[in-house]
Amino acid sequence: QVQLVESGGGSVQAGGSLTLSCAASGFTTSSYCMGWFRQAPGKEREGVAILSNGGDYTYYADSVKGRFTISQDNAKNTLYLQMTSLKPEDTAMYYCAASVCRSGSSLPLNVHSYVYWGQGTQVIVSS
């Protein structure tokens, strides 16, 4: 019954923008730490942006800091990743995921902390 469905991926030229969406069902996203991860061919899955339960804290990978913004719409139970100034190295499959966590605790940064995963949406940035 728990579902995470990503959308919004596509192909864009370097310097362009995309906004990814993650529609959740079966649980309330604001009650979980939510994260965006990405995996490029031949590379490990890495955390891109994390949002604490309640939205009080965020984490961004150094490689995307200042360019990506994570947010959520509680009414829609949907997580977003706004991506600007995209670079070819941002090319990857992007996944949203949920982790059980406590308010005020350190954000879960490790991929293994996340128990619910979407199927991913592809982002391709061409130069």
What is the residue whose two structure tokens read 């604490």?
52
- Tell whether the model's pLDDT for residue 86 goes beyond 90: yes
User: How far lies 50's CA from each of 16, 56, 60, 120, in Å?
Assistant: 22, 11, 7, 16
Return the amino acid letter for 100. V
Residues in contact with 62: Cβ distance below 8 Å, sequence separation at least 6, in sequence order: none
Higher pLDDT, 58 or 101: 58
Q: How far apart are CA 105 and CA 80, in angstroms?
A: 22
pLDDT average, residue stretch 96-124: 92
At residue 92, the pLDDT reads 98
CA–chain centroid gap for 121, Å, is: 10
Mean per-residue pLDDT of the chain: 95
Please report which confidence band the pLDDT of residue 50 belongs to, taking 50, 70 and 90 as the band edges: very high
- Among residues 74, 75, 92, 99, the alpha carbon closest in space to that of 20 is found at 92
Please report which confidence band the pLDDT of residue 79 belongs to, taking 50, 70 and 90 as the band edges: very high
